[in-house]
Amino acid sequence: MTREGFDSSKIQSIIGYKFKNPRLLQQAFTRRSFSQENQDFEDNETLEFYGDSALNLYISREMSESFGKIEKNQFVSEKNEGELSKIRSWNVNKERLSHCIQVIGLERFLLLGSSDIKNEVWKSDSVKEDLFEAIVGAVAIDSAWNSDDIKIVCQNLFSISDFEENYIALLEEECEKHGWEKPRIWDENFFHQPIVTYINRFAPLLWDKISNTEKFSFRIRNLRNTISDYNPVYSSTSTKAIMLSAKNYYEWLLRRDKIQKEIDKIDENRAVNQLHELRQKGLIEEPIYSFSESHDKDGNPIWKCTCKLNEAEYPFEAENSSKKKVKQEVASQALFFLIGSEIIFYKAEGGI
């Protein structure tokens, strides 16, 4: 059994590779304890062996391309053998491989026998290291040792090693806490078309993927008003770009919760002061106001004011005969945006 149902589509989206033979992927997650209790399942130990070789092949290729070149028909390296050995050892050490598996949550899908469940082996660094190698081994076998496919999977898994938390899981938990639908981040069609997810009536999110041969860009949008800090996020791998997007939006939701606690009620007569207080407490960046004056046909002044928040893609605008009142109006709009009081419905048609 798994601690979470085995989801091959989700796993393939995470690693960035679609298996021709999905049973190989399942085998990569199969512990010996499970195969002993289920005779139709082969364990992942042989795949670990080949994965270790494939991983070393990937690391060697990356080092040769980074540190070496052909001069006068001979290979020259800026790193010596000892230095290269240290770099390779650091890249494939147990703690790093284990962390990459844990931070993206792949150990949740391990197929475990009763003894492994009792001993909670998914918490072990060695077990997570073995899973990393088995996944790479399964990709190597399935792809007939295609070096480009192996490279993509290794890059996707290694690219998240800098994260300390699984921000995708944290974002999902935050959505659940608010009673919202989880974002459908890992979807079997995710890498083929944009996915629009509506989180209840309040915070619809858009995961928008743009990619070319070198860069992946993902963004999360509240369809009512894009939060510009958090889109788009660029990275060399799709998995890291998604994790960055989830991290930024998760942190924004936490900040917004604090803002809601600070602003119990929007006072239109104090909106400018309320916005300034949020800035003083470090909950928002400095609002930027700009004014322009025109006149109606009778010569009366018409003040136009815009308020730009770093947290919002578009500025807030209003017109009034009073310069003071027009500033309060745009500040009120900004506050409504920040605490999420305004509910607008959208329907996505024909993609993005």
Write out the catalytic residue numbers. Answer: 52, 133
DSSP string covering 207-226, please? EEEEE-SS-EEEEEEETTS-
Instruction: Output the 3-class SS for 117-170.
Output: HHHCHHHCHHHHHHHHHHHHHHHHHHCCCCHHHHHHHHHHHHCCCCCCCCHHHH
Please report, in angstroms and rounded to a whole number, the separation of the first and last CA atoms in the chain.
39
| Rounded to 5°, angle at Cα 145 from 98 and 141 | 70
Rounded Cα–Cα distance for residues 244 and 228 (Å): 14
- Residues 240-263, buried b or exposed e (16+ Cβ, 10 A)? bbbbbbbbbbbbbbebbeebeeeb
Cα diameter, the chain: 90
Q: How deeply is 145 buried, as exposed, middle or buried, from its count of CB atoms within 10 A (0-12, 13-18, 19+)?
A: middle
| Rounded to 5°, angle at Cα 15 from 95 and 113 | 65
User: Is 317 in a helix, a strand, or coil?
Assistant: strand
Rounded Cα–Cα distance for residues 300 and 234 (Å): 49
- Residues 270-300, buried b or exposed e (16+ Cβ, 10 A)? ebbebbeebeeeebbeebebeeeeeeeeeee
Rounded Cα–Cα distance for residues 57 and 144 (Å): 14
Beta-bridge partners for 304: 292, 319
